[in-house]
């Protein structure tokens, strides 16, 4: 699975975005070390705070199916009808990534026409993790 192929899956997942309030549509595709892919979209709510980001939808689908080892995630977003050149994951989603992934976890941003590849360590330095609790 190439970075671009993963991004194409994120773009397809984005088509299922439920975002009637922000009209901002996000898709994600999460690749496990075994080569499985779990996709997600953002799911909004009239009460706003129950909204779930695309990245967390993908992570929670994967973890709930027993996955624990992740290689990369592709994320694409933008106002409905347009694709932003770059849609960075929010802080909460970065924290969820840090729960399950090391600093070398690959975060692929942009869109299938132009990828921007990062690491979780770059996006969330000095993260608070399980090791801080013990």
Q: How far apart are CA 94 and CA 86, in angstroms?
A: 16
**Cβ of residue 4: shortest distance to ligand THU, in angstroms?**
20
> Are 69 and 75 within 8 A, CB to CB?
no
By annotation, the residues acting in catalysis are 55
Residues 6+ apart with CB under 8 A from 78: 24, 25, 84, 87
Regarding 95 and contact with ligand THU (CB under 6 A), the answer is: no
**Cβ of residue 12: shortest distance to ligand THU, in angstroms?**
15
The pattern of x and - marking residues 12 through 31 that bind ligand THU according to CB under 6 A reads -------x--x-x-x-----
Segment 35-64, which members bind ligand THU (CB under 6 A)?
A: 42, 44, 51, 53-55
> Are 43 and 88 within 8 A, CB to CB?
no
> Which tokens is 104 given?
């070398």
**Cβ of residue 62: shortest distance to ligand THU, in angstroms?**
16
> Would you tell me which residues interact with ligand THU (CB under 6 A)?
19, 22, 24, 26, 42, 44, 51, 53-55, 89-90, 93
């Amino acid at each position: 699975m190439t970075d671009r192929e993963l991004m194409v899956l994120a773009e397809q997942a984005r088509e299922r975005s439920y975002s009637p309030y922000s009209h901002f549509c996000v898709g994600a595709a999460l690749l496990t070390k075994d080569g499985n892919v779990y996709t997600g979209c953002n799911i909004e709510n009239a009460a706003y705070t129950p909204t779930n980001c695309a990245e967390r939808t993908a992570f929670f689908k994967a973890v709930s199916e027993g996955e624990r080892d992740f290689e990369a995630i592709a994320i694409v977003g933008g106002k409905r009808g347009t694709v932003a050149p770059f849609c960075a994951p929010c802080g909460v989603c970065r924290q969820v990534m840090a729960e399950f992934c090391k600093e070398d976890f690959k975060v692929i941003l942009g869109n299938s026409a132009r990828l921007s590849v990062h690491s979780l360590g770059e996006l969330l330095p000095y993260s608070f993790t399980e090791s801080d609790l013990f």
